[in-house]
């Protein structure tokens, strides 16, 4: 553990410090047993003999979810209830680390043969109907489809990830706390003259010593007197902060795949102009209205309806106003009435879902906007905050 623990209430908890002190962050055996049981029920529902969980080029969260090893170049996991888990990994030099982290899993080299070794093992087991979760390139997918009756279980996997266990919620508090550290580093140390690149480095330095990793840190700078953009960009530029700017950010730091997401806005050594004051006040009001209807059992259309005060104030949105989160970007993905995110799904929220509420209020000419929001946990009667980063249109750079 680092010698100096940040002054964040979550990170000071002894149980959280014990998790951070592990050689590699790993869920409990009981949590992995829960996941295997849930996955077994999905296989039974679809009449599948087994399932392959695949990842390629660091994409495919199911591999980590079921084994504790995060996909690097390529990984294919064979899961069959009651049988030893098998995993094939590329590259050869990744095997020692994979074997150390994927406890209770037989880890093999894939021999640069794609899914061939998994196909051989499934045929030994006389598997016919095989589920698939994750991503693989087309040629590898074709090889699997030619060998088996392949069943796409990605939708079922999404539902397994959308509803969190209590242990997963506890880990996501770590991701939220690390994301908060990035916000606070920016609030305390950002100064006029710093570039977006330097600001990004500042953010990462706050949580990397604790084992945190960057999923995103979007940082946008806008001149309040002459605004030109309504959402922060995904990549950092050489643009420098100056007095009279505003800065809006969206951060997701993760502890393994347990992440937070927090969105905030700042002024730079100046008071907000009337336009940005109104934009931010509308975002705060929308956040309050949307979170005011959150609870297990609420139809998600009610959340969209609650955001209508944005349009009533003469503004619109650009980003999604709410989405499921944690181990992926999950349903429901909602837009406002003036900027829909596709059809509103016919679904209700459930307890222990984690969602990000983020009313990114913008001008209709798309030249100005603010960010305000954060990940919350749905409860039977409402919601619980996962983040501690202060809200408000904060001023930096004095």
Average of pLDDT values for 306-320?
98
Residue ending a domain, choose from 162, 182, 213 = 162
Residues 351 and 210 in one domain: yes
Average of pLDDT values for 118-144?
96
Average of pLDDT values for 23-34?
96
Tell me whether strands 105-109 and 85-90 are parallel, antiparallel or unpaired: parallel
86 has which bridge partners?
Answer: 78, 106
With a cut of 60, say whether residue 159 has pLDDT above it. Answer: yes
With a cut of 80, say whether residue 149 has pLDDT above it. Answer: yes
CATH classification at residue 191: 3.90.230.10
Residues 157 and 174 in one domain: no
Residues 205 and 115 in one domain: no
pLDDT of residue 277: 98
Query: With contact defined as beta carbons under 8 Å apart, do 134 and 94 qualify?
Result: no
Range of the domain at 44: 29-162
Residue ending a domain, choose from 132, 162, 192 = 162
Q: What is the pLDDT of residues 345-393, one digit of tens each?
A: 999 999 999 999 999 999 999 999 999 999 999 999 999 999 999 999 9
Residue ending a domain, choose from 109, 139, 162 = 162
246 inside domain = yes
- Cis peptide upstream of residue 91 (ω within 30 degrees of 0): yes
Residues 252 and 374 in one domain: yes
pLDDT confidence tier of residue 4, bands split at 50, 70 and 90: low
pLDDT of residue 1: 37
**Chain mean position to CA 141:** 26
Residues 222 and 202 in one domain: yes
Residues 141 and 112 in one domain: yes
Secondary structure, 3-state, the chain: CCCCCCCCCCCCCHHHHHHHCCCCCCCCHHHHHHHHHHHHHHHHHHCCCEEEEEEECCECCHHHHHHCCCCCCEEEEEECCCCCEEEEEECHHHHHHHHHHCCCEEEEECCCCCCHHHHHHHHHCCCCEEEEEECCCHHHHHHHHHHCEEEECHHHHHHHHHECCHHHHHHHHHHHHHHHHHHHHHHHHCCCCCEHHHHHHHHHHHHHHHCCEEEEEEEEEEECCCCCCCCCCCCCCCCECCCCEEEEEEEEEEECCEECCEEEEEEECCCCCHHHHHHHHHHHHHHHHHHHCCCCCCECHHHHHHCCHHHHCCCEECCCCEEEECCCEEEEEECCCCCCCCCCCCCECCCCEEEEECCCEECCCCCCECCCEEEEEECCCCEEECCCCCCCCEEECC
Residues 192 and 146 in one domain: no
Average of pLDDT values for 107-124?
96
pLDDT confidence tier of residue 246, bands split at 50, 70 and 90: very high
pLDDT confidence tier of residue 2, bands split at 50, 70 and 90: very low
Residues 155 and 190 in one domain: no
2 inside domain = no
CATH classification at residue 48: 3.40.350.10
Residues 176 and 294 in one domain: yes
pLDDT of residue 5: 54
300 inside domain = yes
pLDDT of residue 88: 98
21 inside domain = no
Residues 91 and 194 in one domain: no
Q: What is the pLDDT of residues 171-185, one digit of tens each?
A: 999 999 999 999 999
Q: What are phi and psi of 64, to 5 degrees?
A: -65, -40
Residues 289 and 390 in one domain: yes
With a cut of 80, say whether residue 8 has pLDDT above it. Answer: yes
Closest CA to 372 of 289, 293, 294, 255: 289
pLDDT of residue 3: 41
With a cut of 90, say whether residue 85 has pLDDT above it. Answer: yes
In this prediction, what percent of the chain has a pLDDT beyond 70? 98
Number of domains into which the chain is organized:
2
pLDDT confidence tier of residue 13, bands split at 50, 70 and 90: very high
With a cut of 90, say whether residue 321 has pLDDT above it. Answer: yes
- Cis peptide upstream of residue 186 (ω within 30 degrees of 0): no
131 inside domain = yes
């Amino acid at each position: 553990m680092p010698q100096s623990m940040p002054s964040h209430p979550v990170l000071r908890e002894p149980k959280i410090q014990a998790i951070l002190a592990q050689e590699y962050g790993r869920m409990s055996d009981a949590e992995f047993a829960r996941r295997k049981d849930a996955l077994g029920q999905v296989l039974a529902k679809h009449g599948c003999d087994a399932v392959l969980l695949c990842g390629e080029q660091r994409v495919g969260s199911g591999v980590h979810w079921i084994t504790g090893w995060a996909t690097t170049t390529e990984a294919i996991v064979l899961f069959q209830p009651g049988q030893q888990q098998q995993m094939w990994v590329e590259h050869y030099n990744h095997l020692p680390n994979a074997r150390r982290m994927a406890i209770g899993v037989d880890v093999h080299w894939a021999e640069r043969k794609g899914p061939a070794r998994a196909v051989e093992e499934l045929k030994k087991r006389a598997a016919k109907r095989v589920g698939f979760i994750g991503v693989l390139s087309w040629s590898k997918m074709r090889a699997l489809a030619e060998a088996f009756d392949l069943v796409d279980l990605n939708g079922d996997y999404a539902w397994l990830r959308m509803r969190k266990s209590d242990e997963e919620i506890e880990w996501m508090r770590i991701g939220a706390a690390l994301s908060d550290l990035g916000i606070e580093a920016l609030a305390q140390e950002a100064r006029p003259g710093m570039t977006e690149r330097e600001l990004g480095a500042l953010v990462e330095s706050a949580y990397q010593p604790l084992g945190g990793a960057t999923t995103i840190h979007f940082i946008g700078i806008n001149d309040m007197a002459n605004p030109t953009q309504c959402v922060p960009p995904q990549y950092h530029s050489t643009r420098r902060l100056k007095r009279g700017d505003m800065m809006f950010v969206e951060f997701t730091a993760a502890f393994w795949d347990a992440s937070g997401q927090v969105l905030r806005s700042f002024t730079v050594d100046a008071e907000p102009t009337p336009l940005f004051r109104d934009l931010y006040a509308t975002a705060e009001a929308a956040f309050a209205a949307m979170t005011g209807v959150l609870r297990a059992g609420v139809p998600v259309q009610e959340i969209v309806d609650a955001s209508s005060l944005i349009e009533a104030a003469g503004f619109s949105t650009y980003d999604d106003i709410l989405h499921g989160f944690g181990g992926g970007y999950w349903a429901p993905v909602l837009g406002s009435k003036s900027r829909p995110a596709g059809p509103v799904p016919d679904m209700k929220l459930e307890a222990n879902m984690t969602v990000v509420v983020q009313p990114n209020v913008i001008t209709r000419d798309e030249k100005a906007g603010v960010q305000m929001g954060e990940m919350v946990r749905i409860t039977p009667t409402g919601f619980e905050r996962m983040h501690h980063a202060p809200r408000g249109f904060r001023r930096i750079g004095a």
